[in-house]
Amino acid sequence: MLSFMQNNTSENENARQDFLKLGTLAVAATACGSAMCSCGKNKSEDSGKMVKLLSPEGEIVEVDESYLREPADIPCVDEKDARHGIPNRKFVMVVDLARCKNARKCKEACNKNHHTGHQKEYLKVLKMQDNPVSSPYWQPTMCFHCDDPPCVKVCPVDATFKRDDGLVLIDNDRCIGCRVCMAACPYSQRVFNWGEPETWDESISSCSSPEIGGVNAKKGTVEKCDFCPDQVRQGEMPHCVTACPNGVFYFGDENEDAVSNGEETLKLSELLTTRAGYRALEELGTKPRVYYLPPVNRLFPFEDMKSDNPEENTVN
């Protein structure tokens, strides 16, 4: 079982509280790209030597040097394992539309960790309205990792592939930029690299693998949401899940019949049954691995917000 699927225990809760106390330090250190917080340290071990770091908000914060360590290298997975996936897993995502207030933290985390920009976002938060008299709502939309994906069928070079664990990935070393997969996707959830992508920081990892988002991006190739397989392989959740402040995204293993948003772990089958879960355009037979829960009994009133992406401001 993935680490985030384990049942709540007092030990896990204490660890979570300790992490939250040191959250500011961790964020600041991660932003620097050269070090990160070692949250397991005891305060009695403080060195007394303070180091200044720049936080994502642009503020200068001071951190005791004892809390810093070199970032761990991302494990490099060979092509065979990357294309096969994680054994005995069947990953699934559930999006609770009643919880979404368009905070956009999911987008920010996705863009940052996949080295994308506004011109090629993997995740969009669309303004939706079911009929002229109903209230609009916000709908996070990404690749649905279909079990019968049209994109995989049409790729002439096997660059797009379906893994045994449910994920659909793209190998940009094989992609020839024909864009046939983009035409085949009924959800329009793929983007094309018209220009040179952002340079990958080799200090993080020198590994080139479809599992590490952004590492092998190339001009003239296709990209999309990948469910952060490098995170998942290490027992962590995708970045959109952990970044969302309102618990909109639930991620888990269909084989275990369990999904979690980081705060609570629920039985997948019961959640979909009791909350009337559905999938986008199910009549097409693509069998998406992303389910939506209707925007009923919303946590927040709808507030219209303009986006940098004009597509997201349009009622669908």
Residue 255 is classified by DSSP as G
* Per-residue pLDDT in tens (0 to 9) along the chain, 316 residues: 455 454 444 444 444 444 333 343 443 444 344 344 443 444 446 677 787 766 655 577 777 776 665 444 556 777 888 899 999 999 999 999 999 999 999 999 999 888 887 678 999 999 999 998 989 999 999 999 999 999 999 999 999 999 999 999 999 889 999 999 999 999 999 999 998 876 555 544 556 677 876 666 788 999 999 999 999 998 999 999 999 999 999 999 999 999 999 999 999 999 999 999 999 999 999 999 999 999 999 988 888 876 666 666 666 6
Per the CB < 8 A criterion, the answer to whether 64 and 46 are in contact is yes
138, 127 contact by CB (below 8 A): yes
3 state DSSP class of 30: helix
For residue 2, CA distances in Å to 160, 190, 270 come to: 26, 28, 20
pLDDT, residue 313, reads 61
Instruction: At 92, give phi and psi (nearest 5°).
Output: -150, 150
Instruction: Name the strand (E) or helix (H) holding 239.
Output: helix 239-243
**Structure confidence at residue 35 (pLDDT):** 40
Question: Distance between CA 290 and CA 227 in Å, rounded?
Answer: 11
- CA distances to 5, 194, 278 from 264, in Å: 9, 40, 21
pLDDT reported for residue 19: 38
What pLDDT shows up at residue 195?
85
Distances (CA, A) of 173 to 31, 161, 203, 208, 222: 29, 13, 21, 9, 11
Query: Could you give the CA distance from residue 257 to residue 50 in angstroms, rounded to a whole number?
Result: 46
Query: In whole angstroms, what is the distance from residue 277 CA to residue 95 CA?
Result: 9
What CATH number labels 79-313? 3.30.70.20
CB atoms within 10 A of CB 280: 17
Within the chain, all domains assigned CATH 3.30.70.20 are found at 79-313
Query: CB neighbours of 136 closer than 8 A, spacing ≥ 6?
Result: 127, 128, 129, 302, 304, 315
Q: Please tell me the total number of residues recorded for the chain in this structure.
A: 316
CA 310 to chain centroid: 22
Look at residue 26 in the predicted model and tell me its pLDDT: 40
Whole-Å CA distances, 241 to 34, 69, 93, 261, 263:
25, 26, 9, 6, 10
Residue at 118: amino acid letter: H
Closest CA to 110 of 99, 118, 101: 118
Q: How far is CA 226 from CA 154, 163, 312, in A?
A: 19, 11, 21
Angstrom distances, CA of residue 183 to CA of 112, 169, 285: 27, 17, 17
Residue 72 to residues 14, 34, 172, 262, Cα–Cα distance (Å) = 24, 11, 25, 23
